[in-house]
Amino acid sequence: MPETSAPPEPILKKDMGRALISAERIAKRVEEMGREISEVYADIDTPLVLVVILKGATVFAADLLRSLSIPAELEFVSAASYGSGTSPGKLRLAHMVEGPLVGRHVLLIEDIIDSGRTVSAIEKRLRRLKPASLRLAALLDRPARREVDTRIDFTGFVIPDRFVIGYGLDYAGLYRELPGIYTLT
Ligand code: IMP
Ligand code: MG
């Protein structure tokens, strides 16, 4: 994403226009997702492991975690690109989960699925840790730019081909604090 351009001027919350997805709609949808996920995993005999992809998914994960009615643990992974521009598809994991995942039910939590490269690389690494199951929950799905076939088990919203910020999603490290999701224009 556009990390090479100069950081934009911070936009204050009071100056934001109409949200693409309001805080209220997000809250409602995340509650629904929490119920759906709790039903799917109702019968597992170990706590669900939420593996949150840093940093964008942390806000979504914090709300989703509190909407679950089943026990869950939290783990984090962080993906970073190798070099700059040379092989854009190559990802390395800057942080990997700390606990063992053998035989555990794992739910990967991501903010937005764009090309699909980030989750596909992370899923590949997580599968090596032999979880009992591995599913994906994404707040946003932007299918227009998909490059890697990606199965999303729990989707919050499907969005058009626009760059978005807020509710954890950033542009040049900024705007994660916005309570709704906005397009950057
Ligand atoms: P993918 O690997 O192309 O699917 O990209 C997913 C990652 O790119 C996400 O984890 C986000 O951090 C970032 N990203 C993609 N689109 C956006 C956006 O519209 N706003 C903010 N971050 C984005
Ligand atoms: Mg991300």
Q: Is the CB of 118 under 6 A from ligand 1?
A: yes
pLDDT number for residue 13: 65
* 113 beta partners: 141
Comparing CA positions, the residue from 36, 27, 2 lying closest to residue 165 is 2
pLDDT of residue 93: 87
Res 8: pLDDT: 63
**pLDDT at residue 17, as a whole number:** 74
What residues are paired with 154 via a beta bridge? 137
The answer to whether the CB of 123 is under 6 A from ligand 1 is no
pTM: 0.91
What's phi and psi for 83, nearest 5 deg? 55, -155
pLDDT at 89: 60
Cα–Cα dist 185/165, whole Å: 10
How many A from CA of 112 to the centre of ligand 1? 6
For ligand 1, say whether the CB of 178 is within 6 Å of any of its atoms.
no
* Per-residue confidence (pLDDT) for residue 117, from 0 to 100: 95
Tell me what pLDDT residue 122 has: 96
Q: What is the pLDDT along the chain (185 residues), one digit of tens a residue?
A: 555 566 666 666 666 778 999 999 999 999 999 999 999 999 999 999 999 999 999 999 999 999 999 999 999 999 887 655 555 567 888 888 888 999 999 999 999 999 999 999 999 999 999 999 999 999 999 999 999 999 999 999 999 999 999 999 999 999 999 999 999 87
Which pLDDT does position 80 carry in this prediction?
80
